[in-house]
Every structure is written in C-alpha cells, then in structure tokens.
Structure 1
Amino acid sequence: MDPKALNIPAEDKHSFAEYFQQHIAPKWQRYEAKRIPIAAKYQQRRKISQPVSYIAMFTGLIGFAGIFYALAITNGDGFMLVGGLLLFVVAMIVAAAVNFWAGSEAFKFRDGVIKVIHPLILRYFGESFMLNPKNLPELKKYEQYGVLPKYDRGYFQDSVKGEYKGVAFLVRELNLSVANGTEDNKTKYKTIFDGIIIEFDTFKKFKGETQVRLDKGTLGNKYQAFKHDLSQVKLEDVNFERQFEVYSSDQVEARYLLTPATMARFLSLSSFYGSQLEACFKDGKLFMKIATKHNYFNSKLDVLKPLDFSHDIEQLFRELYQIFALIDELKLDDKTGL
C-alpha cells in the first residue's frame, strides 16, 4: 500500500507518509511475511471444513425435521424426539468445531495485527492517543450527567482517548437496552441507545450543572426537570428551543455557557448527527451522547489478501476529525466562554 495515496486531509498526507514508513511499514512487512503461510493453511483447511459444514448443516436440518415430526405428527414419540434432538445438537457442534479448526489461527493472527497496528496509527496524532486504555470508568459513573436513558443492560465496545488543542477527551461506543419480555425462560432485550458517548475536559470554569436535552413535549420536559432537580432555562433562540430543552442548577451560568453562537453550533452538530444529540456541562466537563449507527474504530482487514491498512487508516482519520470538529465547533479550547 502507498501511504501517499490515502484519502486523508491534505495537511496530513506528507507527515503521515513519513510516520508510516518509519513506524508502521517495518511491522507491516513482517506481518505480511507471516500472513502468507497462515492464509495458505486456512485455504487448505477450508477445502475440508466447507463441505463438512454443509453436510453437518444438512444433517442438522434432518434432526430438526425429526423433532418437528415427533412433536407435530406422532404426539411426542420419544425415540424420534430424542434421536432428532441428538442429531441436531451433534451436527451443530461438528459444524462449529470444524470451522474453528479451519480459521482459528487466521482469526488470532488478524486480532494480533489489529492490536499492534491500530495503536500505532493513533499514536501519529500524539502520545496521549490510546485505543481501549486500561482502568476506564464503569458505566454507572456516566449516570451523573443525567442524559443517559433508564436501562437494564449496557456495555461498551471500543474506546479511544486523546487530546486535541489541549482538550483531553474520551470517546466510547455504548449500547443500552431494556428488558422486553421473556422467551424460553430467557430475558429478551430491546436496544434503546446505540452510539457513542464523549467526555471532554474543558477549560471552562463552571460550578453548576446544565443539561441540553432533546425536546420531549410539555409533560416529558416537566418530568425531566423534576427528576433531576433542575430548573428549565428559557432561551431566545426559537430554532434551538424547538429542538432542545435546557435544564440547569444555575440560570445565569446556563446562559453564559449557551451563547447564541454556541446554540447555533449545537443545532449544526445535531443536524449532522440526525438530531440525536444530548449533552451536559458539569464539574468542568462536557459530556455528549450521540446516537449513531456507525461502527467506530472497526477494522476491515482481510488476512486472506495482502495486508492493506488503507481503509482502517482512512476511517480512523475520519472518526478522529469528527471529534476534533466538535472541539473546534464548540470552542472547547477557548478559556473565555464557549
């Protein structure tokens, strides 16, 4: 791959090409040499695992048909039911085992490459940039900002921390869900939030708490104000008021934070993200919750082909520049207001 041909910002092309040649290319070449025999072994094993998988799946369907026949036609014939169940289970185990045997080495190699190369790509932006750093806060810590919906289950995926223009940030992929009935004695869950949360350390000195939430109608807005023991803030921007509701423990500070320029920036960002943006200013930090279907920090590396990190590099640049744009748009590096 040619780093100079990457679709990244023009100001980064030359410097990143030099960085790539110095820090990434040597590892890339070593990994490519290791990849060739691993890929060849996988292809050879697939010649065995693929037909075995097809046979196993066909056998599993026969077993499933036996279960259905026993329950629906023979009123629960024990021999047919047990035989069909055993056939189905054994077939699925064989299919899973043979695919694991064929691909485990290749999958392990791919994961190892990503764990080394992605942090190196991030390090181009500065020593503070880290992928999935240790000792990150638990989900419960973010409940203090008051913009997470009520949930029964939540989990993080990838996380990236870094610093831009002196503003430290942590961005994390988050999924939240609520219990939604049961099936086969197991709780079913419904996703209520899928996106990212971002915590910025700002230079702003504010003592109170100010929430910027999506407008939920008259009753919903009153409930939000009551729940968080905050008072509703009326602002002069009609377009902003149409989309957002603001609650704060300090009316004066809320207006200091949400200047006309800042409200315009929030509207612009909300439009960019499809109106699914909420935020909270608290304890010198800005917390943002953004619903998005985009899978952040996801790799498309294919170890069956010559190693090419172009997609991963270009995606990381796009994703980080979105975060940088938030800092620029909201002027979080400015020590005097927003």
Structure 2
Amino acid sequence: MTDPTSQAGQKAEPRRYTAVEMRQAQRKVGRYGGCLMMALFGVPLAIVAMVVMAGLLGPVAGVLLVMVAVVFGFFYNLLQTSLALLIPSAILAALVYVIYRHYHLPVATASPEAAARFATEIARLNTLRLEAARDTRRRVMLYVPAGLALAICFLMMPSRGSSSGILAGWLFAPFLLGFGAAVPWLIALSIPGGRYAKTFKRELMPLLLRRYGELRYVEGAVPAVGDLAARGLLPRYDRAEIDDAIAGRYAGYELRLSELELERKSGKNNSTVFNGLLLTLAVDTPFLGTTMVLDQRRPTPSGLMPVRLEDPRFASIYDVYGNDQVEARAVLTPAVMERLLSMADGGDFFPPSCLVERDSITFAVAQTGTRLLFEPPSLQAHDAAAQLQHLEDELALVFRLVDAMIAMHVAVKPGGVMPAGTSFSEQPAVPPSDPSR
C-alpha cells in the first residue's frame, strides 16, 4: 500500500489543459469580448434614443424614460472606469508574472544520456550561458532605474487641466511606475537571452536532427505561403516572417517544418494573425481529391463541400471540407481524428488545421501564446544539459505530429504501413515538462 504521509508530502502536479479546452476557452473569451464591445458602443446609442423618445412621449412616460437613461448612464460610466483600471492592471500583472516565473523556476536536471552525448558542446554552452546571465544582471541594474526615473519625471511634470485630471494622474501612478520597471526588465532579459538562444540552436539543433533522418536546420528562409492563404488554410496576411525551419527527409518522406509568423496591416499598426508551425509532407502516392480540416471560425473554402463525420467532439472543433467524400473519410480515421485533437495537449498549440491534396499534406499548427519554439528555457534555472533535454522533448512532440501526417497517407495508400522508426496510436503524446510553461 502507498504511504499516505508520503502522498501528503508530495506536491500535486498542476493540471494541464487539453488543446480542445484551450480552443473552447478562446472562443468563450471571444464571445464575451464581443458582448462587451457591443455594450460599449450600443449603450450610448440606446441612451441617446431614450432621450429623444422622452421628448416625443407624454410627461410621465418621458420622465420614466429619462430615469432609465440616467441609470444606464451610471452603469456605463462604471463600466468605463472599471475597464480603465482593469486593462492596465492585467497587462502589468502579466509582465510581473513573466519576470517572477523567470527567476523562480524549479531547477531542472537532464538525463545522464543527454549530458554524455554532447559533453563538449554542453561545456561550451554553459560558459556562454553564465556570461549571458551576468550580462542580464548588469543590464537590469542599468535599465530598471532609468525606466523608473523616466516614469517619475513624467509624474512630476506640470499638470494640465483640472483637479480631477491631477487625481486621475496620481491614480494611475502605480501602473506607470510598474511599467517603468517591468518593461526595461524584460528588455534586459531578452537581449542576452536572444544571443545565447541563437548560439544554442546553431550548436545543438543539427546534432539532434540526425536521429530523425537526413534533416538540416535552416534560418531565415520564408516558405511560399501565399497559395495556402488564398486557399483558406492560413489567414490573409501582408507580411510573413520565419524564425526557424527544418528541411530534409524523415522516414522516407520529404519534410519541411517552419516556425511562421504572419502579420496583417491594421491602419498604422500590424497585428499578428498566425503564429505557429507550418509542416509540409510530400507523399509518393498522390491523393485523388482535396480534403481540408479547418477550425470552425474559418470561412468555407471555395470549390469544396462539407464532409460529415460521426464524431461529435471532433465536429465541435473542426469543419471538414472536400471534393471526394470517400477519400476524406478514409484519411480521417478515428485514430487520426483523436491524434489531431490530442496532439497539442498540455503544450503550446491549438489543434492543427490541415490540407490534404495531390502529393502533399500540410499542417498549420497555431500557438496558444507568443513563446518562440525550440528556444532554451530560463538561463537562471536551467543549465545547458537541461536545456538540451527540453529541446529533445520538444522535437519529439513535433515529430509525433509528423507521424500523424504519415498515418493520413498510409490510410489511403494501397498496402500502406507505417515506416520503421515512426509510431502512431490513439494515445495522446506526452508534452515536454518545462515548468516555465
């Protein structure tokens, strides 16, 4: 029997949310945000309409309508004030949380095998890591006081306006001081960490890719994604940027994996419309038709018809389209549908969208946040060996997703079997255990 005292002394693991739960939560937040925007724009119009109608009605009805308009106006002002305080509070809390997690992570250890395989590279990277950590501390001591000084100077500027404007300025003083400290702190963390991350990936990524096949690590090569945006797999964009890419042969298939960010112009600013992975697998037996698996929020692609699948959980997340109903159902086996829903469980991804057509399979896997992939974790809480272990776990998660792409091809290939070295089952993949996530 298990000792109850030992169970009580163990700290419970934090619950990992599934990719489906993350997508459902995102949609719920979107609905609530839409209702809030309607309230912000609709309530003033309703108040004006009530005042206008009050002049057209009798005196009693007019007075009642004006009273209702006053009540609406009171709650509208309360909502505006709450948002004015809540939004900067949420942003500042997120910045503080990022800094806190950076410095208060449990120290991770790597397996002896990972440390022994690349002992020379790990020793050199540890030297660079310590140099980057020292550089980070120097920059924090320089940037943070400068940011606080600027914030204080702004607060001490001669006030313009009434006494209520002065009160509002001091009301937001804690937020201004918080941003004056947090933003320079994050800048100080990012500059040395970014330089170390580039060296880390250039040193170790090619070595780690050898175990998966004839693959090479590529930097800065943007794939041609215009056609994918026109087809509807990716959103429309004005600018495409890539951070990392992997290209070559895996299990006998040509593969290209790109970490992609797409931006769209919105007035004078750019907004990110896609941030994640784009995987393209070339197959030797062409598909007869076209099958697209899209998130329910995406518009219907032209030239394709809806495909009905008998899986309510899958249908709650995806819409499926194709021009060959038989092939679409053959490609989307129950095991493949389960893998699409569960592959990103506990990680940084939403369930992937995909395009199956002719001689290729393309997956678009959006991230839940803005964290860069294949980056070493915290410089303070992880040595180079632990960072290597994390990178290996992250690559294993991605290549299990590639195995799901191969399974989609094998499902319609005559006599097709999964190649040696690949694995596929209905069990969800285990995500990397990085405490910083």
Question: What TM-score, normalized by structure 1, do the two folds share?
Answer: 0.63
- Deviation of 1:297 after TM superposition, in Å, equals 0.5
SS at match of 2:155: helix
Contact 2:215 2:248 in 1 (8 A): yes
Two-structure CA RMSD over aligned residues (Å): 4.2
**Alpha-carbon distance between aligned partners in 1 of 2:330 and 2:359, rounded to the nearest angstrom:** 14
Partner residue, 2:110:
6
The one of 187, 201, 209 aligned to 1:123: 209
Contact 2:128 2:196 in 1 (8 A): no
SS at match of 2:389: helix
**Alpha-carbon distance between aligned partners in 1 of 2:342 and 2:128, rounded to the nearest angstrom:** 46
SS at match of 1:325: helix
SS at match of 1:128: strand
**Alpha-carbon distance between aligned partners in 1 of 2:290 and 2:383, rounded to the nearest angstrom:** 46
The one of 355, 364, 368 aligned to 1:293: 368
Structure 1 unaligned blocks of 5 or more = 8-12, 75-91
Partner residue, 2:150:
60
**Does structure 1 residue 269 correspond to structure 2 residue 340?**
yes
Paired amino acid for 1:328: D
The one of 206, 231, 254 aligned to 2:328: 254
Partner residue, 1:87:
none
- 1:63-107 residue CA offsets vs partner (Å, 9 max, x unmatched): 31354x254479xxxxxxxxxxxxxxxxx9xx98xx98x997x66
Partner residue, 1:194:
275
**Alpha-carbon distance between aligned partners in 1 of 2:361 and 2:233, rounded to the nearest angstrom:** 12
Map 1:58-137 → 2, pairs under 5 A: 58-67=148-157, 69=158, 71-72=160-161, 110-111=196-197, 113-126=199-212, 128-133=214-219, 135-137=221-223
Partner residue, 1:140:
226
**Alpha-carbon distance between aligned partners in 2 of 1:240 and 1:205, rounded to the nearest angstrom:** 26
Paired amino acid for 1:124: R
Contact 2:229 2:236 in 1 (8 A): no
Contact 1:301 1:309 in 2 (8 A): no
Contact 1:131 1:158 in 2 (8 A): yes
- Deviation of 1:290 after TM superposition, in Å, equals 2.1
Identity rate of aligned residues, in percent? Answer: 23
Partner residue, 1:212:
293
Contact 1:176 1:194 in 2 (8 A): yes
Contact 1:327 1:333 in 2 (8 A): no
**Alpha-carbon distance between aligned partners in 1 of 2:316 and 2:149, rounded to the nearest angstrom:** 59
- The 1:310–1:254 alpha-carbon spacing in structure 2 relative to 1, beyond 3 Å, is same
SS at match of 1:229: coil
- The 1:332–1:202 alpha-carbon spacing in structure 2 relative to 1, beyond 3 Å, is farther
Partner residue, 1:10:
none
**Does structure 1 residue 321 correspond to structure 2 residue 321?**
no
- 1:292-327 residue CA offsets vs partner (Å, 9 max, x unmatched): 33642011263x79x932333222222222233234
Paired amino acid for 2:398: I
Partner residue, 2:356:
281
**Alpha-carbon distance between aligned partners in 2 of 1:235 and 1:108, rounded to the nearest angstrom:** 45
**Alpha-carbon distance between aligned partners in 2 of 1:322 and 1:145, rounded to the nearest angstrom:** 27
More strand by share: 1
- Deviation of 1:239 after TM superposition, in Å, equals 5.1
**Alpha-carbon distance between aligned partners in 1 of 2:264 and 2:398, rounded to the nearest angstrom:** 29
Question: What TM-score, normalized by structure 2, do the two folds share?
Answer: 0.51
- The 1:156–1:35 alpha-carbon spacing in structure 2 relative to 1, beyond 3 Å, is closer
- Deviation of 1:162 after TM superposition, in Å, equals 4.6
Contact 1:160 1:172 in 2 (8 A): yes
- Deviation of 1:6 after TM superposition, in Å, equals 3.5
Contact 2:132 2:193 in 1 (8 A): no
- Deviation of 1:133 after TM superposition, in Å, equals 4.3
**Alpha-carbon distance between aligned partners in 1 of 2:217 and 2:236, rounded to the nearest angstrom:** 28
Paired amino acid for 1:56: A
Greater mean deviation of Cα atoms: 317-326 or 136-145: 136-145
- The 1:179–1:276 alpha-carbon spacing in structure 2 relative to 1, beyond 3 Å, is farther
Paired amino acid for 2:377: K
- Deviation of 1:280 after TM superposition, in Å, equals 0.7
**Alpha-carbon distance between aligned partners in 2 of 1:208 and 1:156, rounded to the nearest angstrom:** 30
Aligned residues: 279
The one of 119, 124, 144 aligned to 1:25: 119
**Alpha-carbon distance between aligned partners in 2 of 1:34 and 1:234, rounded to the nearest angstrom:** 54
